[in-house]
Amino acid sequence: MSTPGPPGPAGPPGTAGPRGTRDIPASSPSPLEPSLEKDDIPAITADLVLVFAFATIGRMQHAEPLTIADLAYTALPFWVGALIGHVILRFARKNPRSLPWGGFLVVSTWTLGHAGRLMLDQGSDPAFLAVSAAFLALFLLGWRLVLTLVVRRRRQYRP
């Protein structure tokens, strides 16, 4: 009597395996794991909304007009920086929802945002360099930190 050997390589989920059994697809990946099947639109949207909030707070602190056009003009360089960061992450197949790659987005948003401000003659005061770095880090890393903690907590209490 011979003992069966190890199973051969499995095909795509839901197809018959080497012994005629059906492979069971793995549970859906965590929002923190890289996945090109998942839509990154929510992460991109969250970042763009938070950059808009950053621009709004800045204009309010300086008693500047809060029209949509003025707010968009202020946010534009930082939106471009965030979007370029997201494009880089997408091509590098990195997860923009993860905390480490959120750090990359903070750097790209801040660096390209200030470069854009200089190109648009919006200026970049040294104090604003520090304040914008702090706010972008708080906003763009904050929601990722909350997501990371929620996912870890769910994993702890999973049966």
Q: Tell me, yes or no, whether 94 lies in a domain.
A: yes
Q: Tell me, yes or no, whether 24 lies in a domain.
A: no
Q: Tell me, yes or no, whether 12 lies in a domain.
A: no
Q: Tell me, yes or no, whether 9 lies in a domain.
A: no
Q: Tell me, yes or no, whether 116 lies in a domain.
A: yes
Can you tell me the distance from the alpha carbon of 121 to that of 125, in angstroms, rounded to the nearest whole number? 12
Q: Tell me, yes or no, whether 26 lies in a domain.
A: no
Can you tell me the distance from the alpha carbon of 51 to that of 46, in angstroms, rounded to the nearest whole number? 9
Number of domains in the chain: 1
Q: Which domain holds residue 143?
A: 41-156
Q: Tell me, yes or no, whether 18 lies in a domain.
A: no
Residue scoring higher pLDDT (158 or 141): 141
Handedness of CA 73, 78, 84, 87 (dihedral sign): negative
Can you tell me the distance from the alpha carbon of 155 to that of 49, in angstroms, rounded to the nearest whole number? 29
Q: What is the tens place of the pLDDT at every residue in 37-70?
A: 456 889 999 999 999 999 999 999 999 889 999 9
Q: What is the tens place of the pLDDT at every residue in 64-100?
A: 889 999 999 999 999 999 999 999 998 888 888 899 9
Q: Tell me, yes or no, whether 78 lies in a domain.
A: yes
